[in-house]
A and B are shown apart, each in its own frame.
Chain A
Amino acid sequence: MTNQQSSLDLMFQALADPSRRSIVERLCAGPASVSELAQPLAMSLPSVMQHLQLLEGSGLIRSAKVGRVRTCRLQPEALSAAETWINQRRVLMERKLDRLGEYLRDTAGDEH
């Protein structure tokens, strides 16, 4: 198996899990600490760490520890600019629809 193929397999494996996909989506919005990434996931911290190790092994993310805080960030070289943009857009559209919900709640008393 060539170097190219094995790194591709790792990338596909990394993105084949919904929790790992949600981690990648979160990192599209910027770097985050391990605890930030773990918060929305319904799993133990060791499980989160396993996911992060796999993602780091695939080259999709990298992490650095400063003091007691480990911060993860997306490796932009792993995805083309267009793919990164599509991921960012997904996050953006989800947030917009969330804010539409808040707006509708806030204006529920208004009459048109």
Chain B
Amino acid sequence: MPSSVIHDTLVLERDYVATPARVFAAFADPAARLRWGPPSDTVRMIYEATDFRVGGQDIAWCGSGEALSYRVDTRYEDIVPDTRLVMTETVSTGGVRLSVSLITITLIASPGGTRLVLTDQIAALDDSDMVAGSRVGWSASLDNLSRELGLAAEPA
């Protein structure tokens, strides 16, 4: 099965009872990130490298159990203190890239503290190694549906 890519955009919002400076510090400080970054208590995370500046790159490893099987490469593209972060993030496992994301975090002061908006624009990579031969994926199904309805151009 040939490789393919699927795009999606996640937009998540939160209101935090904390100043934008405190919320920003939680992102800027790798030690703080280790405390809130793992999604649950069973997921461990370590940093191989950190460099919080425009052009700087982090390398993190995370996973549950003994083997930290997920590698996360982050490159900081834009940093406006207490206001905005833009970074690219690549997640891979066993040398296979799962996704490349463009992540934007904006912090806006609010009466209660800070409104955070996180936008994750994902390119999810369907590597040929990851897709079973007989699997019916959405993309194949939608292609077939489009052809049946006469909406798509002739396949190459």
- Point out residues on A near B: beta carbons under 8 Å: 2, 4-5, 8, 11, 76-83, 85-86, 89-97, 99-105, 107-108, 112
Name which residue of chain A comes closest to B35, CB basis: A103
A77 touches B10 (CB 8 A): no
Which residues in A have their C-beta under 8 angstroms from that of B12? 93-94, 97
Which residues in A have their C-beta under 8 angstroms from that of B118? 93, 97
Those 4 A-B pairs whose CB atoms lie nearest each other, nearest first: A80-B137, A82-B124, A95-B39, A103-B36
Shortest Cβ distance from residue A101 to the other chain B in the assembled complex, whole angstroms: 6
- Interface mask (B33-54 → A, CB under 8 Å = 1, otherwise 0): 0011111100000000000000
Which residues in B have their C-beta under 8 angstroms from that of A83? 6, 124, 137-138
6 residue pairs bridging A and B, Cβ less than 8 Å apart? A81-B127, A82-B124, A90-B10, A94-B12, A96-B36, A100-B26
B125 touches A82 (CB 8 A): yes
- Give the number of residues in B that approach A within 8 Å (Cβ atoms): 46
Question: If the complex has contacts A93-B12, A95-B39, are A80 and B25 also in contact, measured as CB distance less than 8 A?
Answer: no
Name which residue of chain B comes closest to A95, CB basis: B39
A99 to B32, CA, bound (A): 11
Q: Is B99 among interface residues, defined by CB-CB distance under 8 A?
A: yes
Question: If the complex has contacts A82-B4, A86-B8, A90-B10, are A104 and B39 also in contact, measured as CB distance less than 8 A?
Answer: no
A79 touches B138 (CB 8 A): yes
Shortest Cβ distance from residue A104 to the other chain B in the assembled complex, whole angstroms: 4
Q: Is B80 among interface residues, defined by CB-CB distance under 8 A?
A: no
Which residues in A have their C-beta under 8 angstroms from that of B135? 76-77, 80
B122 touches A89 (CB 8 A): yes
Which residues in A have their C-beta under 8 angstroms from that of B4? 80, 82
